[in-house]
């Protein structure tokens, strides 16, 4: 192996790129002082890893970069590459040629290292050249300063060059690394030992806690399984019972409403009947007065008619045949009276029949109307009951807050005594009609957020909820909430979009003191007509705002969509609006129900009255039929008699044309008719009154029964309500317990745990398990995981401790082995060098004797090296007393002795012979020539004797101030050219 080439660019005085070619043998670099020839040895030392700026003759590392001159600008980069011929693989690198490069940048003072143009670390370069004889501290680079300091160095400082020669540097380096590793191992072992001891103290107690916790968890799991089943069973039973009670109460409420309605109607009917009875009594009294007058009048007329009939009969009896005509006339008059009476009765019968048909038709119409009213009333009653139930549910939700979570109810109960708790946001705002779903979607869960005056109240209330395990709630402090809005440019764009309706805050009304809350929650939310319009507005505003439609669909920030059917039961705003609508609807239905019920009662009474009138008409018609039949027979008989008398042609003018009798009969007929009508009317009204009396008595009986039934139903309703309240309380307690203690919903518990159990037996097991859990006392459930973690860490640390002990033993064994190797190699090399040193010394000094010796033979690894020399004719014992030239020659003698024992591939000698006289220089040069076959020498010199022995000379010059140039001369070629032959 030898150095083929050095490439320099920007290093010290080498401003331009310079390639310095070398060959095996001796290469000399000559030139005047200050021309930069020593910069070549500095460059080699720098590439091989020199980090000492002082050794490179600078103040800081950037001083190796060309600093510029009068004619040249400074360089920003220094780069040096050493190219070695590695054909013999002396360097443990599988390439025939090895390039080692180092760069330094002025800007950030960063360095780069490369091997064969591949970036690497400085350590990689050091490892590559280790044990090759190269290196910044090896024999490969020796300067005038090294030579002069060799003799004056302390024995311990002189040892390094012998270690390099013995090849123990790598072992020493490895030993130092092993010692540092051993120290770190000891430190880690101590630290891990402390940790293991501490963990060992924790493992025992944690294991006991872990066993206790596992027992607790086993009991707890068993308790959970049993108690959750008990809770499921009781909840299921409670729900089933509640459903039954709910259905029963619904039926009872319907019955109660129906009874109350019936009682009211019956009371109204009773009052109407009493009024009618009073009116009938007055009418009957008036009719009786009229009847007395009519009876008296009929009596008078009948008396008058009897007198007339007697006179007529007397006349007929006393008349002779000659007066037959008078008898005929009388008979004619009688017949005429009978005809008039018959016609009158027929007419009355026809009129009665017509009136009867009219009453029957009217009654049929009334019955149809009554049936229709009954259907309408029943439908209204059903709707009223439904709306009453819905109203009660809504009142319970809106006013009693039944839909709110436990935490919110707790806070609202606190609000009664704390004026700083304003209320639930959903209760503090009201919406414009038609915007309930939009605002509900806009606020979502915020509808149930609690508004407070300040954040202190919110924090105190949260602490109260936590301390009392009373649930959770979200708070909106007025003092800290800031309004939010839509940016002006986005608002202008939105207003131009089809379907834009406004901002959500525009459609609610609220107290000014919570305006910051409302604007914070709704000020930056847009309301659109439908989901399509909302989506377009979202795109136009880059999906930066939440947009809701009137149907409750949402386009969220970022563009995601939420929609579908809306759960109206969950929105207090929708429930409030629905409560208002139900209340108005119920009021209108109750009014309509009252009107229809009154109309029904009136119509029913009319039907009853008409029924009585119809009965009277039917009876009157039947009586008239009998009377008409009698009058018809009487007429037939009278007509027969008249026909027999008419043949006799007797004319009784006095009676035949008697206007008095005919008028009397007509008056009598009219009086009888009037009397009969009065009699029938009085009879009818009395019968009607009697029916009213019967109805009144029946209604009283019915009212008493209804009131009794109503009281019974009310008692049942109250009893059922109490039972339902108790069951609901128990149900809520069980559900809360499921949620708080077991973190389960009822549905999840049913799905995961439900099984058939004996509830009473299970309760006994629950009691026993709770007793066992209580006896365990305080349990640290985290101990299971802590024990696992600590025990795993303890085992891991213990394994690490064992590994470290083994590693420590391995390191100690390795150090011991390295010590043995170093002692052996150093001793052998030392003995060889000692022998060669005496031989070389005698050759260079022309006699005398020299040797090296240990300062501490008992400690070969650390002993210093003393030099004991005696030039010919001198008896100097202390090497420091020699002259400078003698010291240099002693050092050179030692150098050559080492090279005899441990040849190195390359050696740079920087003016090492400067202190020698001419004779010694020649000896030095000749001796150098002897080694040039095995070692490549690069000699920086200005001594002629050395130059003569060089195979290749480079002349260093500065043609341009501050910039080094090299000129090469091969001496063999020069000699051939100068030989005259």
Q: What is the DSSP letter of 321?
A: G
| Cα separation, 632 vs 647, whole angstroms | 23
Give the residue ranges of DSSP H helices in 932-978. Answer: 944-948, 971-978
| Cα separation, 235 vs 727, whole angstroms | 9
Q: What is the DSSP letter of 631?
A: H
Q: Encoding tokens for residue 631?
A: 């009058």
CA 107 to chain centre: 52
Q: Which helix (H) or strand (E) holds 203?
A: helix 169-318
User: What residues contact 216, with CB distance under 8 A and at least 6 apart?
Assistant: 773, 776, 779, 781
List phi, psi (to 5°) of 511: -75, 140
How many other C-beta atoms lie within 10 A of the C-beta of residue 76? 13
User: What residues contact 481, with CB distance under 8 A and at least 6 apart?
Assistant: 516, 517, 520
Label residues 237-257 b or e (16+ Cβ within 10 Å = b): ebeeebeebeeebeebbbbbb
Read out DSSP for 271-313? HHHHHHHHHHHHHHHHHHHHHHHHHHHHHHHHHHHHHHHHHHH
Q: Which helix (H) or strand (E) holds 3?
A: strand 2-9
List phi, psi (to 5°) of 409: -60, -40
How distant, in Å, are the alpha carbons of 198, 774, 783, 786, 796 from that of 207? 15, 20, 8, 9, 17
User: Is the Cα dihedral 580, 583, 587, 590 positive or negative?
Assistant: positive
User: Is the Cα dihedral 751, 756, 759, 761 positive or negative?
Assistant: negative
For the annotated binding site for ATP, the residues are 32-39
| Backbone conformation region of residue 152, classed left if phi is above 0, alpha if psi is from -120 to 50, else beta | alpha
| Cα separation, 627 vs 346, whole angstroms | 9
Q: Which residue bears the tokens 């040096």?
A: 80
Half-sphere exposure of 383 (CA within 13 A, CB side): 17
Q: What is the CA radius of gyration of the chain?
A: 68
Half-sphere exposure of 285 (CA within 13 A, CB side): 6
At residue 361's C-alpha, the angle toward residues 375 and 687, to 5°, is 90
| Cα separation, 802 vs 546, whole angstroms | 63
How distant, in Å, are the alpha carbons of 239, 241, 286, 402 from that of 234? 8, 10, 75, 21
| Cα separation, 26 vs 317, whole angstroms | 208
Q: Are 148 and 888 in contact (CB under 8 A)?
A: yes
User: What residues contact 878, with CB distance under 8 A and at least 6 apart?
Assistant: none
| Cα separation, 844 vs 836, whole angstroms | 12
| Cα separation, 22 vs 950, whole angstroms | 12
624 CB-contact burial (10 Å; exposed 0-12 / middle 13-18 / buried 19+): buried
Q: What is the DSSP letter of 458?
A: H
Residues 269, 275, 276, 279: what is their CA dihedral angle, to the nearest 10 degrees? 180
* β-pairing verdict for 508-510 and 429-431: antiparallel
* Cα distance from N-terminal residue to C-terminal residue, the chain: 37
């Amino acid at each position: 192996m030898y150095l083929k080439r050095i490439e320099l660019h920007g290093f010290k005085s080498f401003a331009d790129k310079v390639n310095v070619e070398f060959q095996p043998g001796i290469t000399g670099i000559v030139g005047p002082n200050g021309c930069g020839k020593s910069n070549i040895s500095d460059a080699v030392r720098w590439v091989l890893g020199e980090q000492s700026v002082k050794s490179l003759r600078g103040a800081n590392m950037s001083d190796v970069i060309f600093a510029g001159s009068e004619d040249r600008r400074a360089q920003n980069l220094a780069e040096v590459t050493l190219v070695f011929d590695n054909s013999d693989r002396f360097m443990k690198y599988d390439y025939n040629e090895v390039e080692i490069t180092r760069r330094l940048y002025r800007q950030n003072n960063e360095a780069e290292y490369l091997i064969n143009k591949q970036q690497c670390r400085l350590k990689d370069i050091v490892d590559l050249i280790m044990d090759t004889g190269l290196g910044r501290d090896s024999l490969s680079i020796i300067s005038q300063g090294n030579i002069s300091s060799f003799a004056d160095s302390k024995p311990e400082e002189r040892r390094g060059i012998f270690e390099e020669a013995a090849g123990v540097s790598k072992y020493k380096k490895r030993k130092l690394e092993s010692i540092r590793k051993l120290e770190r191992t000891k430190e880690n072992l101590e630290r891990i030992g402390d940790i293991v001891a501490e963990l060992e103290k924790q493992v025992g107690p944690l294991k006991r806690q872990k066993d206790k916790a596992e027992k607790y968890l086993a009991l707890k799991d068993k308790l959970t399984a049993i108690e959750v089943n008990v809770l499921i069973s009781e909840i299921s039973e409670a729900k089933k019972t509640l459903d039954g009670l709910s259905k029963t109460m619904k039926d009872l409420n319907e019955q109660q409403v129906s009874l109350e309605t019936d009682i009211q109607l019956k009371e109204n009917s009773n009052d109407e009947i009493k009024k009618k009875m009073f009116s009938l009594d007055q009418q009957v009294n008036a009719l009786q007065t009229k009847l007395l007058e009519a009876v008296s009048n009929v009596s008078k007329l009948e008396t008058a008619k009897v007198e007339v009939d007697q006179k007529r009969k007397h006349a007929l009896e006393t008349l002779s045949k000659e007066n037959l005509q008078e008898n005929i006339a009388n008979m004619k008059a009688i017949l005429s009276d009978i005809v008039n009476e018959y016609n009158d009765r027929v007419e009355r019968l026809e009129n009665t029949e017509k009136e009867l048909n009219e009453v029957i038709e009217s009654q049929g119409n009334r019955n149809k109307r009554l049936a229709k009213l009954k259907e309408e009333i029943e439908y209204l009653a059903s709707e009223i009951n439904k709306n009453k139930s819905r109203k009660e549910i809504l009142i319970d939700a809106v006013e009693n807050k039944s839909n709110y979570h436990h935490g919110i109810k707790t806070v609202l109960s606190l609000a009664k005594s704390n004026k700083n708790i304003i209320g639930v946001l959903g209760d503090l705002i009201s919406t414009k009609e038609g915007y309930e779903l939009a605002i509900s979607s806009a606020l979502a869960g915020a509808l149930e957020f609690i508004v407070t005056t300040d954040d202190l109240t919110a924090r105190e209330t949260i602490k109260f909820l936590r301390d009392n395990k009373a649930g959770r709630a979200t708070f909106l402090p007025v003092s800290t909430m800031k309004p939010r809005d839509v940016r002006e440019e986005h608002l202008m764009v939105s207003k131009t979009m089809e379907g834009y309706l406004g901002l959500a805050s525009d459609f609610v009304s609220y107290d000014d003191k919570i305006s910051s809350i409302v604007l914070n929650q709704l000020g930056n939310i847009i309301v659109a007509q439908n989901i399509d319009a909302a989506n377009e507005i979202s795109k136009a505003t880059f999906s930066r705002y939440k947009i809701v439609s009137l149907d409750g669909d949402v386009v969220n920030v970022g563009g995601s969509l939420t929609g579908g059917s809306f759960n109206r039961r969950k929105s207090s705003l929708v429930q409030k609006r629905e409560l208002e609508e139900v209340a108005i609807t119920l009021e209108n239905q109750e009014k309509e129900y009252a009107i229809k019920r009154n109309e029904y009662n009136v119509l029913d009474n009319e039907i009853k009255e008409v029924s009585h009138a119809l009965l009277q008409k039917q009876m009157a018609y039947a009586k008239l039929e009998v009377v008409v039949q009698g009058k018809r027979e009487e007429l037939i008989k009278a007509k027969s008699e008249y026909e027999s008398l008419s043949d006799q042609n007797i004319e009784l003018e006095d009676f035949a044309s008697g206007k008095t009798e005919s008028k009397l009969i007509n008056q009598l007929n009219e009086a009888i008719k009037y009397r009969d009508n009065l009699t029938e009317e009085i009879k009818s009204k009395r019968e009607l009154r009697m029916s009213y009396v019967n109805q009144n008595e029946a209604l009283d009986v019915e009212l008493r029964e209804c009131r009794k039934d109503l009281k019974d139903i009310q008692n049942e309703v109250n009893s059922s309500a109490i039972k339902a309240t108790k069951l609901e309380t128990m149900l809520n307690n069980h559900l809360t317990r499921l949620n708080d203690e077991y973190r389960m919903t009822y549905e999840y518990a049913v799905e995961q745990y439900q099984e058939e159990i004996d509830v009473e037996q299970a309760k006994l097991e629950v009691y026993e398990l709770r007793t066992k859990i209580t006896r365990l006392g305080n349990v640290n459930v985290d101990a299971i995981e802590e024990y696992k973690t600590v025990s795993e860490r303890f085992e891991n640390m213990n394994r690490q401790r064992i590994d470290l002990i083994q590693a420590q033993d391995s390191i100690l064994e390795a150090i011991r082995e390295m010590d043995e190797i170093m002692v052996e190699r150093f001793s052998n090399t030392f003995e060889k060098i000692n022998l060669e040193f005496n031989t070389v010394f005698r050759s260079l000094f022309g006699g005398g004797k020299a040797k090296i010796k240990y300062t501490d033979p008992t400690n070969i690894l650390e002993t210093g090296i003393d030099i004991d020399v005696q030039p010919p004719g001198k008896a100097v014992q202390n090497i420091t007393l020699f002259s400078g030239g003698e010291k240099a020659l002693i050092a050179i003698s030692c150098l050559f002795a080492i090279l005899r024992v441990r040849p190195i591939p390359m050696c740079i000698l920087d003016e090492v012979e400067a202190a020698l006289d001419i004779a010694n220089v020649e000896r030095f040069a000749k001796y150098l020539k002897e080694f040039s076959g095995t070692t490549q020498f690069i000699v920086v010199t200005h001594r002629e004797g050395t130059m003569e022995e060089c195979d290749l000379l480079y002349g260093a010059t500065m043609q341009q101030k501050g910039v080094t140039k090299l000129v090469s001369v091969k001496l063999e070629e020069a000699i051939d050219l100068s030989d005259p032959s």
